């Protein structure tokens, strides 16, 4: 079973990830992973910290001469902007952030104990782990990409940049919508038999785990909810040249909790970032008096970043169900299982 765990705080010494269950024999090029880490740091609207950090993943275990050996893979990404113990206490919790709920949950007197782990900085190591999963999937011609559909209510690149500039000048933040497209997924990944093995459930959980994401859409679910079934469902056709195929993909590549062979399409709806440079009203957790919320270095908009993170975490989700279906201890064994299944589909 493929699984992972991450550790580390925003201003701690490093972020660490452990990926378990990757078969032996997969060649890993750290350059591919570092490209995605660089993409995560780019995007219009990113904050000043991205000028400090230059993320690079270092593999600590699970490989020999750049090839997986079946044991857990450990990744470390060092934080240049560290010094967590020297940072000031945060007494004014930010509306929309984990600050207040975390303080109440754990009985803290300092919101920094919450925000250091709740920070979206943690997603850097998930991008590293997802990068390994992307390499596995690419070996089977499964590829993942993302794009921005809307930011701040506008869709054109020119208007998006203008909106972000305006928000930055007014010390505000923006949210938006990103889309993940996964091509080449064979039919039959996931299951209709158990609620917790439905592929769309796993995708929704993964996208919702990205900080600031508040809604998930698979296929054209939102538009389809207002339409009759006769205009929504993807009719099925067959020809000798194409085999079984669809003319539309309103389902987003998933029916009954399983991939159906079409592109998997999922969207994340991201709220504006909670840290505003002109803080909203809140309370001092010691005095309970009305004050302005604390500020931390932050982005004006992180929707493009969320798309990169979405690629990574969905790479993990697809790799997990892929190995559940075709799993083996080595890549050679997985390929035999996969080729047998695909041959059976053609019959």
Judged against a pLDDT cut of 90, whether residue 44 lies above it is answered with no
Model's pTM, two decimal places? Answer: 0.95
Place of tokens 């709740």: 118
pLDDT of residue 173: 95
Judged against a pLDDT cut of 70, whether residue 47 lies above it is answered with no
The span from the CA of 179 to the CA of 267, in Å, is: 4
The span from the CA of 285 to the CA of 90, in Å, is: 9
Judged against a pLDDT cut of 90, whether residue 42 lies above it is answered with no
pLDDT band at residue 43, thresholds of 50, 70 and 90?
Answer: confident
User: Which of the pair, 49 or 53, is modelled with greater confidence?
Assistant: 53
User: Which of the pair, 162 or 298, is modelled with greater confidence?
Assistant: 162
Phi, then psi, of 107 in degrees rounded to 5: 75, 25
Q: How many CA atoms lie within 13 A of 179 on its CB side?
A: 13
pLDDT of residue 180: 98
Task: Find the mean pLDDT for residues 33-37.
Answer: 95
Judged against a pLDDT cut of 90, whether residue 347 lies above it is answered with no
Q: State the Cα torsion 249-253-255-259 to the nearest 10°.
A: 150
Provide the CATH number for the domain around residue 311. 3.60.150.10
pLDDT tens digit sequence for 134-148? 999 999 999 999 999
pLDDT band at residue 10, thresholds of 50, 70 and 90?
Answer: very high
Judged against a pLDDT cut of 80, whether residue 48 lies above it is answered with no
The candidate with the shortest Cα–Cα distance to 76, out of 42, 41, 115, 37, is 37
Judged against a pLDDT cut of 80, whether residue 9 lies above it is answered with yes
Q: Rg for the chain (alpha carbons), in Å?
A: 22
Q: Look at the chain and count its residues.
A: 347
pLDDT tens digit sequence for 209-248? 999 999 999 999 999 999 999 999 999 999 999 889 999 9
Q: List, as own/partner pairs, every contact residues 275-282 make where C-beta atoms lie below 8 angstroms and the sequence separation is at least 24, other chains included.
A: 275/94, 275/97, 275/173, 276/94, 276/171, 276/172, 276/173, 277/171, 278/170, 278/171, 278/172, 279/92, 279/94, 280/94, 280/95, 281/95, 282/92, 282/93, 282/94, 282/95, 282/100
pLDDT of residue 51: 56
Residue 285: in which H helix or E strand, if any? none
User: Which of the pair, 45 or 307, is modelled with greater confidence?
Assistant: 307
pLDDT tens digit sequence for 300-323? 999 999 999 999 999 999 999 999
Task: Find the mean pLDDT for residues 83-112.
Answer: 96
261 CB-near residues (< 8 Å, 6+ apart): 185, 186, 187, 244, 253
Q: How many domains does the chain have?
A: 1
Place of tokens 């754990």: 106
pLDDT of residue 306: 96
pLDDT band at residue 22, thresholds of 50, 70 and 90?
Answer: very high
pLDDT of residue 32: 93
pLDDT tens digit sequence for 170-222? 999 999 999 999 999 999 999 999 999 999 999 999 999 999 999 999 999 99
DSSP 223-267: HHTTS-GGGTS--EEEETTTEEEES--TTTTEETTEE-SSPEEEE
pLDDT of residue 50: 53
Q: What is the mean pLDDT of the chain?
A: 95
What range defines the domain where residue 276 resides? 3-346
Residue percentage of the chain with pLDDT more than 70:
98
Which burial class, exposed, middle or buried, applies to 194 when counting CB atoms under 10 A from its CB (0-12, 13-18, 19+)?
exposed
Judged against a pLDDT cut of 60, whether residue 49 lies above it is answered with no
């Amino acid at each position: 079973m493929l699984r992972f765990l991450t550790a580390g705080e925003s201003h701690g010494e490093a972020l660490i990830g452990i990926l378990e269950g990757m078969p032996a024999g997969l060649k890993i090029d750290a350059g591919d992973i570092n490209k995605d880490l660089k993409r995560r740091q780019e995007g219009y609207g990113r904050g000043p910290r991205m000028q400090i950090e230059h993320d690079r993943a270092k593999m600590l275990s699970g490989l020999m001469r750049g090839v997986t050996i079946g044991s857990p893979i450990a990744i470390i990404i060092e934080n240049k902007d560290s010094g967590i113990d020297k940072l000031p206490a945060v007494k004014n919790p930010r509306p929309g952030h984990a600050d207040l709920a975390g303080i109440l949950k754990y009985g803290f007197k300092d919101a920094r104990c919450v925000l250091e782990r709740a920070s979206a900085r943690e997603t850097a190591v998930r991008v590293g782990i997802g990068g390994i999963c992307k390499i596995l999937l690419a070996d089977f011609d499964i590829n993942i990409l993302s794009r921005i559909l809307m930011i701040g209510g506008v869709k054109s690149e020119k208007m998006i940049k203008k909106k972000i500039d305006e928000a930055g000048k007014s010390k505000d933040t923006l949210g938006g919508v990103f889309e993940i497209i996964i091509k080449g997924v064979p039919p039959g990944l996931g299951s209709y038999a158990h609620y917790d093995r439905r592929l769309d459930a796993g995708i929704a959980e993964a996208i919702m785990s990205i900080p600031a994401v508040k809604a998930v859409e698979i296929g054209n679910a939102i538009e389809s909810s207002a339409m009759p079934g006769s205009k929504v469902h993807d009719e099925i056709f067959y020809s000798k040249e194409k085999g079984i195929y669809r003319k539309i993909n309103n389902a987003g590549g998933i029916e009954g909790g399983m991939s159906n062979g079409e592109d998997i399409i999922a969207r994340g709806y991201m709220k504006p970032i909670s840290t505003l440079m002109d803080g909203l009203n809140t309370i001092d957790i010691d005095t309970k008096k009305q004050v302005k919320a604390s500020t931390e270095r932050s982005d004006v908009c992180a929707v493009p970043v969320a798309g990169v993170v979405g690629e990574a975490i969905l790479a993990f989700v697809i790799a997990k169900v892929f190995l559940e279906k075709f799993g083996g201890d080595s890549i050679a064994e997985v390929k035999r299982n996969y080729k047998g299944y695909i041959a059976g589909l053609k019959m």
